[in-house]
Amino acid sequence: MRALFLALLLTIPLQVRAQQEIVIDKTATATRVIPIALNGFTGEVASTLKFDLEVLGFEIVDSSKAQYNVTGTTTAHVEGRLIDQVTKASLFAKRYNASTRRAETHALANDIVSQLRQIPGIAHTKIAFKGQTGAQTEIYVADYDGSNATPITSDGALVAAPGWGPNGSILAYTSYRSGYPDIYVQDLSGKREIIAKYPGLNTSAAISPDGKWVAMILSKDGSPDLYVCRIDGSSLKRLTKTRAVDATPCWSPDGKTICFVSDSRGASGLFLISPDGSGMRKLRTVGSGKPTEPDWSPDGTQIVFTSQWRQFVICVVPAAGGEVTTLVDGEAPSWAPNSRTVIFSKRKQGRRLLSLLDVPTKRIKDIPQSLAGSSQPSWAK
């Protein structure tokens, strides 16, 4: 026994040191799957912690194979200690105090992620999506892992395309409650207003990062075009005038550019335009099928989108345009606030479900399904 322990002490540090020497630059660190062990956790705490870490590209392994070890208890409150298996140093030890075990576990996961990935945790964040129960659809808000899913509409009508305002305080979405697709803006207390109910199509609302403006697709002037208005629906301005399909706008994090899809100018593609309507230009997406549904990463560096070519594939392209990186099968991607994780939807045997993608490692984690169908996710940021 003692001999085995000594052997482990000798071999593991050497192995890990060798790995650390190879891994030098930050990109390589980001793409590396981190082996981690969890000890002392049970039940919901154990499963929640496992899920939270796997989403961020950790692999839960036996202690003997782990680079880091999390030890803890789940008695009165969640306690956790993060240990570097190489140095045996304790990186932190905390006891969490929140209203639920689940919240305490998410806080522990966030601490581990920020310590080992050098990015803010996302385990406490919220998502919105289009949820389906039977023939009905409503807009739902849930924790990022799908738990605590709650409908925020009760329109009994077709709804679609939720998009968050800054700080997760308000949501814009489309509802056919009036018989036609209108754009609503709703705060989470339930108060809502219709901000666009023009003749024809009103959809694909995207709230600007400062919360003051909404980009959207309207057809009132005879073709689906891109428009911007204030958050209360005033000061409507038409940005594009095409006879083609314009669709799915999103904002750059600095609010200075809108990225959207257009079929104008021949082949369809992603376009960039200023919110004042100037400077429309095509974004180069080399190696992509037909791109739709762009979402700009919060750090401004990348745009994730759905490439449409017989099937749906999630891709990323640098925000300046260029070579496309193909990630996984899926559609409707939305970045997490960490600019690393993406939520998307996929179709499985006629059903829609949500999944989480760790972009650098391309690992995916399906969100447990509580409804008949879930699609069009938007991550609060």
CB 204 to another protein: min, Å: 5
CB 176 to another protein: min, Å: 8
Q: Residue for token digits 């060798």?
A: 18
CB 261 to another protein: min, Å: 6
- Between 123 and 270, name the residue whose CB sits nearer to another protein: 270
Contacting residues toward another protein, per CB under 8 A: 158, 160-161, 174, 179-181, 198-201, 203-204, 217, 219-224, 241-248, 261, 290, 292-293, 306, 308, 310, 312, 331-332, 347, 350, 375-376
- Between 165 and 289, name the residue whose CB sits nearer to another protein: 289
What residues have CB less than 8 Å from 18, skipping those under 6 apart? none
Taking the C-alpha atoms of residue 334 and residue 312, their distance in angstroms, rounded to an integer, is: 15
CB 248 to another protein: min, Å: 5
Taking the C-alpha atoms of residue 328 and residue 365, their distance in angstroms, rounded to an integer, is: 12
What residues have CB less than 8 Å from 10, skipping those under 6 apart? none
Are the CB atoms for 198 and 220 separated by under 8 Å? yes
Strand order of the β-sheet with 182-187 is: 159-164, 170-175, 182-187, 192-196
Taking the C-alpha atoms of residue 9 and residue 209, their distance in angstroms, rounded to an integer, is: 50
CB 332 to another protein: min, Å: 7
- Between 73 and 219, name the residue whose CB sits nearer to another protein: 219
Tokens of 206: 């995207």
- Between 111 and 331, name the residue whose CB sits nearer to another protein: 331
Taking residue 96's Cβ as centre, other Cβ atoms within 10 Å add up to 17
Are the CB atoms for 57 and 363 separated by under 8 Å? yes
Distance of CA 312 to the CA centre of its chain: 17
CB 142 to another protein: min, Å: 19
- Between 103 and 236, name the residue whose CB sits nearer to another protein: 236
- Between 288 and 292, name the residue whose CB sits nearer to another protein: 292
Taking the C-alpha atoms of residue 297 and residue 339, their distance in angstroms, rounded to an integer, is: 5
What residues have CB less than 8 Å from 231, skipping those under 6 apart? 165, 170, 185, 195, 207, 211, 212, 213, 214
H or E segment to which residue 357 belongs: strand 351-358
The angle, 0 to 180 degrees and rounded to 10, between the axes of the packed helices 43-55 and 101-117 is 30
CB 45 to another protein: min, Å: 36
CB 214 to another protein: min, Å: 15
- Between 119 and 372, name the residue whose CB sits nearer to another protein: 372
- Between 147 and 326, name the residue whose CB sits nearer to another protein: 326
Which of 308, 332, 329 is closest to 129 using CA atoms?
Answer: 332
CB 321 to another protein: min, Å: 20
Tokens of 91: 């990186």
Taking the C-alpha atoms of residue 39 and residue 36, their distance in angstroms, rounded to an integer, is: 10
- Between 153 and 306, name the residue whose CB sits nearer to another protein: 306
